[in-house]
């Protein structure tokens, strides 16, 4: 299930307080997606890693109450107060990395919304996530009684949806344009490989942070290799080198430059740069300048650019050049 459909499904399941398990490969963004939902709905978000707990940590520790002469279970501090009226998500991340004894302790909490004497507040939803057993992570086969307590959904990584997310979160344009050029490099995980580093959306976010850091350029290739693997790092570094041939984007937007690059990798970078620039400074005039410029691009790049602009909510149809552009590319856009 693509991120957009998964998000839509999760929102409904969270509203209905239906326990849900999200499966996905490492680094694709499962945790980030659920956290984003909590933030968008202004909900409390409790990220609980069961693999780091003992069964008593989840149920609480018993102590003797002198007045009643009974043993009372002390609620763990990380769980919300039973009387809380807050809306929230109890997120059980990497639940299938927890030993069977911990998973067993979670049975009652997940289905009955209580464990021992503790009851989860009525406005909290339970969402869990984990990697596939075939992903070489530390996982335990989920017991059938626990698995049956969830609705199970799969997170399928989709490049176009990742690209929209990358634009919105200001991921470096060099990363976006490179991956538009070679989308297969977004996710290179191979369960059979012994390599420690591989490309995922999460590790490309690390690369984004590295590019914005003060790291000496002489160390860039080795450090980036440590994030996404040597092969992807070399390809990315070489791609960045051709970006010196990129035309001045500001002059293109202003309508004062008509130079068209010939190198395909430069064209990918150019389309990404123009989309980035219009998201920050959109007007009917700048959109018109871009459409007129795109008419000089190879048709496939012209269509790719305009589709990216549309996906990012830029109103290209309002331009006086829209009919001219659509007529020129109707054989590609149907």
**Model confidence over 251-281: pLDDT tens digits?**
999 999 888 998 898 999 999 999 988 888 8
Report CA torsion sign: 209, 215, 216, 220: negative
Q: Are strands 124-130 and 20-23 parallel, antiparallel or unpaired?
A: parallel
Which secondary structure element, helix H or strand E, spans residue 74, and what is its range? Answer: strand 70-74
The pLDDT assigned to 135 comes to 65
Whether the model pTM is above 0.85:
no
Question: Average pLDDT, stretch 213-222?
Answer: 93
The pLDDT assigned to 112 comes to 87
Under the banding of pLDDT at 50, 70 and 90, the label for residue 64 is low
Question: Average pLDDT, stretch 121-132?
Answer: 92
Q: Which residues are CB-neighbours of 240 under 8 A, at least 6 positions away?
A: 174, 178
Burial of residue 7 (CB within 10 Å: 0-12, 13-18, 19+) is middle
The yes-or-no verdict on residue 218 having pLDDT over 60 is yes
Under the banding of pLDDT at 50, 70 and 90, the label for residue 52 is confident
Give the range among 59-73, 230-244, 283-297, 298-312 with minimum mean pLDDT: 59-73
The pLDDT assigned to 50 comes to 82
DSSP state, residue 99? -
Q: Which of 136-145, 178-187, 242-251 has the highest mean pLDDT?
A: 178-187
The pLDDT assigned to 108 comes to 82
Angstrom distance (rounded) from CA 8 to CA 118: 31
Do 233 and 225 contact (CB within 8 A), yes or no? Answer: yes
**Model confidence over 159-181: pLDDT tens digits?**
999 999 999 899 999 999 999 99
Under the banding of pLDDT at 50, 70 and 90, the label for residue 4 is very high
Burial of residue 296 (CB within 10 Å: 0-12, 13-18, 19+) is exposed
DSSP one-letter string for 245-306: G---HHHHHTT--------HHHHHHHHHHHHHHHHHS--HHHHHHHHHHHTTS-HHHHHHHH
Identify the three-state secondary structure at position 87: coil
């Amino acid at each position: 299930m693509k991120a957009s459909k998964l998000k839509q499904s999760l929102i409904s399941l969270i509203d209905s307080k239906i326990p849900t398990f999200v499966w996905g490969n490492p680094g694709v963004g499962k945790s980030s997606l659920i956290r984003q939902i909590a933030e968008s709905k202004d909900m409390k978000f409790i990220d609980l890693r069961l693999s780091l707990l003992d069964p008593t940590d989840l149920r609480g520790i018993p102590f003797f109450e002198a007045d009643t002469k009974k043993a009372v279970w002390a609620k763990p501090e990380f769980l919300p107060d039973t009387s809380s009226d807050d809306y929230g998500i109890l997120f059980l991340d990497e639940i299938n990395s927890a030993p069977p004894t911990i998973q067993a302790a979670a049975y009652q909490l997940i289905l009955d919304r209580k464990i021992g004497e503790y009851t989860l507040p009525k406005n909290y939803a339970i969402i869990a996530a984990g990697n596939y057993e075939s992903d070489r992570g530390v996982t335990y086969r989920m017991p059938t009684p626990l698995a049956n307590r969830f609705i199970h959904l799969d997170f399928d990584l989709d490049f176009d949806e990742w690209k929209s997310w990358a634009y919105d979160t200001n991921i470096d344009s060099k990363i976006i344009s490179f991956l538009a050029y070679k989308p297969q490099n977004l996710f290179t995980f191979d369960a059979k490989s012994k390599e420690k580093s591989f490309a995922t959306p999460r590790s490309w976010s690390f690369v984004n942070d590295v590019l914005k850091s003060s790291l000496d350029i002489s160390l860039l290739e080795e450090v980036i290799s440590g994030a996404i693997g040597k092969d992807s790092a070399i390809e990315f570094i070489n791609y960045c080198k051709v970006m010196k041939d990129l035309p001045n984007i500001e002059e293109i937007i202003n309508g004062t430059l008509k130079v068209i690059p010939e190198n395909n990798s430069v064209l990918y970078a150019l389309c990404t740069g123009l989309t980035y620039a219009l998201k920050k400074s959109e007007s009917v005039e700048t959109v018109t300048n871009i459409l007129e410029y795109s008419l000089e691009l190879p048709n496939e790049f012209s269509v790719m650019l305009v589709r990216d602009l549309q996906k990012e909510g830029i109103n290209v149809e309002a331009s006086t050049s829209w009919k001219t552009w659509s007529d020129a590319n109707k054989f590609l856009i149907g």
